[in-house]
Structure 1
Amino acid sequence: MSSKIPLEDVTPKVETYDLYAKREKIQTRSYKGLFKNIRLAGVAFLFMLYFGTVWLRWGDRPAVLWDLPARQFHIFGATFQPEDFFLLSFLLIICAFGLFFITVFAGRVWCGYTCPQTVWTWVFMWAERITEGERNARIKLDHAPMSLNKFARRAAKHSIWLLVSLATALTFVGYFTPIRGLIVEMFTWQMAGWSLFWVFFFTAATYINAGWLREQVCIHMCPYARFQSVMFDADTLIVSYDAARGEPRGSRKKGIDPAEVGKGDCINCEICVQVCPTGIDIRNGLQIECISCTACIDACDEVMEKMDYPPGLIRYTTEHSLEGKPTKVFRPRLFGYGTALLVMIGLFIITVSNISQVSLDIERDRNVLFRETSSGQIENVYIVKIFNKGTTERSYRLSMQGHEGLTLHLPDRPLLVGPSSKLQLPLNVQIDPAELDGATNIPVIFEVVATDDDSVVASSESRFMAPKVR
């Protein structure tokens, strides 16, 4: 008999996981339906807006131009200066509250219908379909060895991708540099360095994001996917699978009553998964990867129609509705966001409508605080900048308020300023030292008024510096 005590390995087994999972390429299939038609109409409108606006003219300049070197931002008949930049911040806040309102009401419809990442991804998927075929053909092509046919199809696909990316980049840069001259410079190989850099940058960004990264941008890079769950509530409209109606799943022939085979309406065809651009199964419930593109709704309704079942197994609905409870449309959070949005839009419109058509900027001569003229007067020199924001040439008169002894010396000519132009000229202000009464730092206010309209007015405050009299 052996005297050895049997040993048993009780070391706990530790499972290891690879923290990096290689991206599985998503190949979507074609489908048709109501929501797809709505999205295509919306995308067509947005494309016309994006690619068309940059070609519009307003007088002798582009209708929309962000002229950074001149620090002027033209939007049709309005011209904005850097001091009006707060309006952009105002507009971004309005957009943020608008996004909050829409998210609380209908989930991620922004992502599914109008987000540039989604829109351009659909365009690139279309290029794949017309060059490499439908889903099954593309999967076979991926696994096939390189051949002349595969090379030609891939080359055609990437050529379309690059052309779309280049058109996107040129259009974007065209909002900062006149597009007509930019196109001529590109074809004549005379494009400026910075223009060339940004065209290349945005071409590469579009090509990589919409062609290669795709759903990875939505899942890992976009912060909206992370905070959307905070915005949702049980009354938010979201793309949902009706598990009570669809389960248990199972295949069957057309026309068979699900109750006869002890199944739900879902035939487990997985077409809803095959059309999803992020590759999720909506039947597993709401997931951060879902961008509410409604592809699964259209695809499932197509299948339900073929099976003679009612549509809506996957549909826009709310959590309360799925549970058989009434959905509350008007609720405090939605009302709060809506009210704040309307108030900010109103304030924005009022602010924009009250922006003066002229701006005035006064700069003192930085080389010397003051100087004494040959007649014994104390003189300060200023640089006056009058900017006409209107669309017609205007004449202005300039005046000054402050110390009674100050006299304003202007050039003996009318102050004419062209449309969306700036007039810059030197200005001398003098005073008799006897009238200073010991003052060395006198506040002055300059005012410019249009000669044809007293409501077109702007003012700027400065200082008159004088020596200390002992």
Structure 2
Amino acid sequence: MRADDKPAPSSKDSSQRIPIKNVKIHGDRKKDRERYKPGDQIYVRRNQGFFQRLRQRMNMVYFAIFLVLPWLQFNGHQAVLFDIAEQRFTLWSLTLWPQDLTLLAWIFILSAFLLFFVTTFMGRVWCGYMCPQTVWTFIFIWFEERIEGTANQRRKLDKQPMSANKFIRKFLKHSAWLIFSLFTAMTFAGYFAPMQELFVNVFTFNTSATMAAILAFFTFATYGNAGWMRETVCMHMCPYARFQSAMFDKDTLTVAYDKERGESRGARGRKQDHKAMGLGDCIDCNLCVEVCPTGIDIRNGLQYECINCGSCVDACSGVMEKMNYPQGLIRYTTEHELAGKKVHLVRSKLIGYAVVLLIMCTMVVLEVVNRVPLTLDIIRDRTELAKENFNGEIENVYTLKILNMSQTDNTYRLSVKGIENTQWHGKQEVMVEAATVYTLPISISVDPYELKGYMTDIHFVVEQISGDEEVKVEQESRFFNKR
């Protein structure tokens, strides 16, 4: 029953009825859904403007960093190398080992809270300006435009039956995608294997089967994600798209359509008085939809598919300029601003994230400053805890593993304390190469009159004697007496 057909409520049940209110739908959403169905091919229209220039320049910087970093050398080694086989991560002068798991955890936590802070303040800008999926998608679209033409030309080409022209263009496009994907995979693998050696092995067909499988996997993953799936990854596979709303509030900067100013939509001439026609500023040109990389209509309100790339903002600003209307019909704004309320840029949630970020940064700095690039592991001889040697002394056997976590060769002096008049049998000065483990078998003997009981606590000390840096570690162990 429609609202205007309902009978007048009786006094008996009027208090139990829910009032019906007509809701005006802005735009034809059914038409929009039919035009842009999930899974349909999206032909992203080329667009220019301030935010697109900003995005392109940021993408160029990030892509250049991605390409250059694995080629850089520092002190005779690759500056950035995550060597999983050797279980060490090299970052310039810092080498991280499994023993540095705490530092890695702090770095990951810091990165997460930085993302939360940025999302709360500026919305999903990570997706629009910095996410590798977005960067590579726009690179692949650039190949499309150079080979197949504009969005309308690509749409017409796909509708045509197969011909020599269509086959050649499709072949060139997919070949360019695959070559670029292989180059991406090789660069990415260069973060986990020596870059120069990797490129030589690939181009001389001398790479291992494992590396070949890794390169093949990442090549087709890049080709599939940026070439075929594109917005599907952002909308249905990326978890960030789903939980980002938990960080949004009504003061978060997002791309939004000013409904009060834009409605009602409709076409009009440039010289016509649209106010007299009962129209808003939106001319319903659909450019905001055609330039959107995820194919949504921003005029339907805030949607989780929006990646805040600002493409629709630039498209709408260009139309407003041509129509001599004020810009900002679609803009970066907040819900409070659109509602005419005061915007609170500094708020409790943002302050909370900032405080946590400060704490995380402090913890990371302290972890790096207090980090000692040397570890000592002590392994006792399990076959015989203690024995009596030819001199009548009690002797314990140990294996010392000295890990030099620095990037320079160092010499260390070893000693033991905790028992008086000990005899050290083995080397007491050793040179350990950079980023290697030195295994040293030694034994300690003591006059039995120096021992107070069956077991005595002792400490092994390793002290660096080369270079200007003072590095010293102690490790506790036990010395056993014969029963």
Q: TM-score, normalised by structure 1?
A: 0.91
Residues 254 and 333 in structure 2, CA contact (< 8 A), matched pair in contact too: yes
Select which of 462, 467, 473 maps to 1:448: 462
Letter in 1 for 2:218: F
CA distance 1:269–1:337, change in 2 (3 Å): same
Quote the offset at 1:433 in angstroms.
Answer: 3.7
Runs of 5+ unmatched residues, structure 1: 1-20
CA distance 1:372–1:176, change in 2 (3 Å): farther
1: distance between equivalents of 2:357 and 2:452? 54
Partner of 1:12: none
2: distance between equivalents of 1:384 and 1:221? 49
Select which of 395, 409, 413 maps to 2:411: 395
SS, match of residue 461 in structure 1? strand
Task: Confirm whether residue 459 of structure 1 aligns to residue 483 of structure 2.
Answer: no
Letter in 1 for 2:327: P
Quote the offset at 1:69 in angstroms.
Answer: 2.6
SS, match of residue 261 in structure 1? coil
Identity of aligned residues (%): 48
Select which of 176, 184, 201 maps to 1:160: 176
Task: Confirm whether residue 53 of structure 1 aligns to residue 64 of structure 2.
Answer: no
Select which of 209, 213, 228 maps to 2:229: 213
User: 353-362 or 339-348: which moved more?
Assistant: 353-362
1: distance between equivalents of 2:462 and 2:271? 81
Quote the offset at 1:99 in angstroms.
Answer: 0.9
Partner of 1:119: 135
1:253-311 CA-partner distances (Å, limit 9, x unpaired): 12433213221110000000001111100000001111111110011111111111121
Partner of 1:274: 290
Partner of 1:290: 306
1: distance between equivalents of 2:131 and 2:59? 10
SS, match of residue 258 in structure 1? coil
Task: Confirm whether residue 332 of structure 1 aligns to residue 348 of structure 2.
Answer: yes
1:125-152 CA-partner distances (Å, limit 9, x unpaired): 1111111111111111111111111111
1: distance between equivalents of 2:113 and 2:324? 43
Q: TM-score, normalised by structure 2?
A: 0.88
1: distance between equivalents of 2:365 and 2:397? 38
Quote the offset at 1:454 in angstroms.
Answer: 7.0
CA RMSD of aligned residues (A): 1.8
Quote the offset at 1:379 in angstroms.
Answer: 2.5
CA distance 1:454–1:401, change in 2 (3 Å): farther
Quote the offset at 1:434 in angstroms.
Answer: 4.3
1:332-383 CA-partner distances (Å, limit 9, x unpaired): 0100001110121122112112211322222223454344433333332222
CA distance 1:49–1:368, change in 2 (3 Å): farther
1: distance between equivalents of 2:196 and 2:425? 44
Quote the offset at 1:405 in angstroms.
Answer: 5.4
1:39-78 CA-partner distances (Å, limit 9, x unpaired): 1111111111111010001122111112223222211111
Partner of 2:377: 361
Residues 106 and 363 in structure 2, CA contact (< 8 A), matched pair in contact too: no
User: 263-272 or 119-128: which moved more?
Assistant: 119-128
Select which of 129, 132, 144 maps to 2:145: 129
Residues 255 and 308 in structure 1, CA contact (< 8 A), matched pair in contact too: no
Letter in 1 for 2:295: G
2: distance between equivalents of 1:24 and 1:153? 21
Quote the offset at 1:203 in angstroms.
Answer: 1.1
CA distance 1:454–1:270, change in 2 (3 Å): closer
Quote the offset at 1:232 in angstroms.
Answer: 0.8
SS, match of residue 94 in structure 1? helix
- Output aligned runs, 1:92-111, within 5 Å: 92-111=108-127
Residues 419 and 450 in structure 2, CA contact (< 8 A), matched pair in contact too: no
1:2-24 CA-partner distances (Å, limit 9, x unpaired): xxxxxxxxxxxxxxxxxxx8611
Residues 357 and 389 in structure 1, CA contact (< 8 A), matched pair in contact too: yes
Letter in 2 for 1:187: F
2: distance between equivalents of 1:367 and 1:189? 50
Alignment length, in residue pairs? 446
